[in-house]
Amino acid sequence: MKPQLFTIRSEGGMSLTASSLGGIVTSLKVPDAAGKPRETLLACSGAALHHGNGYMNAIIGRVGNRISGGGFSLDGVFHALAQNSGGKKHPCSLHGGGVGFDSHVWDVEKYEAAEGPALAFTRLSPDGEEGYPGNLFVRVVYTLTRDNAWRIDYLATTDKPTVVNLTQHAYFNLSGGARDVSEHIVQVNASRYSEVDAGLIPTGRMPAVEGTALELRSPVRLGDIFARASKDPLLKAANGGIDHNFVLDRTAPGLAVAAEFVDPEGGLAMQVQTTEPCVQVYTANFLTPACPARKGQKYGKHWAVCFETQHAPDAPNNPSFASVRLDPGEVYRSTTLYAFAPVDFDSGCDCDCDCDCHDHK
């Protein structure tokens, strides 16, 4: 089946274009402070190129992130998975295996939901696909809400016990890709992170972010993070930036704020809300300048940030993590919102000190 592009537009001035190939979003525009449409995602010159460039803007599954040990055991049966990452030293299954959800053409329905215009992506992942048990029916809905948010609703059912951990690998750059994200500000509502080994596989420990380069509970300029990356062991191990799973400080089920992302120069802010317990923050540390970007743009390392809402990586092999098991008769549900708003930064300072601060209105 040949991939097709679909576009939806909201009353608030947002627009989203996505391909039936992997649910890959090729454009997400939101109104900036001047009311003009601003591109917020990096994108390649063609949807098929997104897989080889960091799974850019695609639906990830059956299980996002890494699974170690060649696979996982479920009810005493070992299920071997494709080892598509980590090389010979640290082999693992990454983002669903060799042919994950991002590489399949989905059925797409365009319709008007209660919250706004929507695209529903559906497919049946057959029993044994990439080594995973059970026929898994998956439905992922992209909705543009009336208050300028990109809402993603995930749903899945199975006919055999299996594991599921879906996410979206969107590469956000609120300048529209005009520059890297060094001047962007990030904040993550997490007191702990997943410690990983040399192969970026979780050890099972979840230490505190306090006193580390991953202390993002207050707003941090990303350029300051990158400046210390060559010397900081946590950042150096992730190829010079952030590529870590953060355990969110949740107080109740339902949607909760996971992160904030702001471009002061461009006057645009994004808030990440999710029902998930974790978020993988990735600062495009492996994105190469050879990435065939849209309209002649050139991307590279640190040119975007991904906020991949999820359960903890390698959960099928770590009983101390929240389970990603799905049984027949159960329904997997997950929701994430990327909510946008223009912001105004005044370079003046109203305080009495002799400083160079910025007031955030």
CB atoms within 10 A of CB 358: 12
3-state secondary structure of 128: coil
Residues 6+ apart with CB under 8 A from 24: 18, 47, 50, 56, 57, 58, 59, 102
CA 36, CA 31: separation in Å to the nearest integer? 5
**Catalytic annotation present for 169:** yes
Q: Please provide the DSSP assignment of 18-39 as one string.
A: EETBTT-EEEEEEE-TTS-EEE
7-44: burial string, b at 16+ Cβ within 10 Å, e else: ebebeeebbbbbbbbbbbbbbbbbbbeeeeebbbbbbb
3-state secondary structure of 216: coil
Choice among 79, 104, 169, 302 that is catalytic: 169
CA 235, CA 241: separation in Å to the nearest integer? 5
In terms of Cβ atoms closer than 10 Å to its own Cβ (0-12, 13-18, 19+), residue 319 is exposed
Contact in structure between 272 and 282 (CB atoms under 8 Å): no
Q: Are strands 107-112 and 117-125 parallel, antiparallel or unpaired?
A: antiparallel
Choice among 184, 302, 308, 311 that is catalytic: 308
Catalytic residue list: 169, 308
